[in-house]
Amino acid sequence: MSQQEAVDAAFLPTLDLSRLVSSDAEERQKLVRACEVYGFFYLDLRSDAELIALWTGVLDLMGQYFNLSLDEKMRDSRNSDTHGYEPVATSTGAQDDLPDYYESLKASRDEVLTQSSKLAPAVKANHALLNRFIERAHAVTMMILRQLSIALELDDSHKFEAFHRHSEESLSTLSMFRYPKQEVLDVGVGHNKHTDIGTLTFLLCQQQGLQVLSKDPVGWRFVQPLPGCAVINVGDTLRFLSGSRFRSAVHRVIPVDQLQRQDRFSIAYFLRAENNATLNAVGGRTVSAKDWHDEKFDVFRKSREAQASDDVLTGGMERDM
């Protein structure tokens, strides 16, 4: 890392997966502080050989899939926020009046588990790999919720995991993103600033581009990829369920060098609460987890002016800067 990159890098604490799995009390308190102060942290996965292997397997799949022609990928389009293919430039981008510049292939956890007929052909063809990845990412994020519930000494009805029951439908989703290499800037840029909709995000990426809006000092800071580490971030839902004790940090994706000089790949598992979970959202509104999800995706597609007119896109967190 250069000196300038070090200056521009966000500080995030690093937690150890194996210590959290073993319910280590000291690691649990580090987890609470990470969620309270930063809303983002690194999770060292190097003790888990299967997760590392799955990461490699999904990356290999993405490299093959996103190199297909647009016509071939559009056969997987479902016009959905939780499953199928989505091309570039469908939402507002990270700068000026440009649209976003990423494409994605998504797989809903519920639909993968049931092998739904709605699954995109590319997901069906790689069902075993994607199903296992979702199982493991879901297990890790649910384990984190359990550790937070223990730390906060929550009663059974208020435990965070109680809002994520296996028997209930949710919009938890695996999303595979490619930010294509760019020759010119005027086609689009990055991924607009936002807080994540759901409870926790389990993110795997080996390339720069993710930025978090820092409070001290105020400004955008790059999240440096660390070998063998996931980036975990708190979403709006966990912030709401914690009574705003935990922080859902504003973040975006933007090229390091103005243009995206090479294809950038990232894998995100979005853990989301069961659809009917009741949330006390921004402005004191009471909404279901599903309604908050749908409302926020609608805002992603609005103009920059419309997005600035309310707090949905950034979950009210930008006002805290």
What are the tokens at 295?
A: 């409302």
Backbone angles phi, psi at 9, to 5 degrees: -85, 140
**Of the candidates 278, 267, 114, 88, which has an alpha carbon nearest to the alpha carbon of residue 190?**
88
- Angle CA 82–237–165, to nearest 5: 70
293 is in an annotated binding site: no
Give residue 244's identity as a one-letter amino acid code. Answer: S
Q: How many alpha carbons fall within 13 Å on the CB side of residue 120?
A: 28
267 strand-pairing partners: 176, 204
**Of the candidates 165, 167, 229, 225, which has an alpha carbon nearest to the alpha carbon of residue 199?**
165
What are the tokens at 179?
A: 């930010």
194 is in an annotated binding site: yes
24 is in an annotated binding site: no
251 is in an annotated binding site: yes
Which residue matches tokens 């955008």?
220
Give residue 58's identity as a one-letter amino acid code. Answer: V
Under DSSP, is residue 111 helix (H, G, I), strand (E, B) or coil?
helix
What are the tokens at 43?
A: 């999770």
Instruction: Please report, in range form, the residues annotated as the binding site for 2-oxoglutarate.
Output: 264
Instruction: Please report, in range form, the residues annotated as the binding site.
Output: 194, 196, 251, 264
Instruction: Please report, in range form, the residues annotated as the binding site for Fe cation.
Output: 194, 196, 251
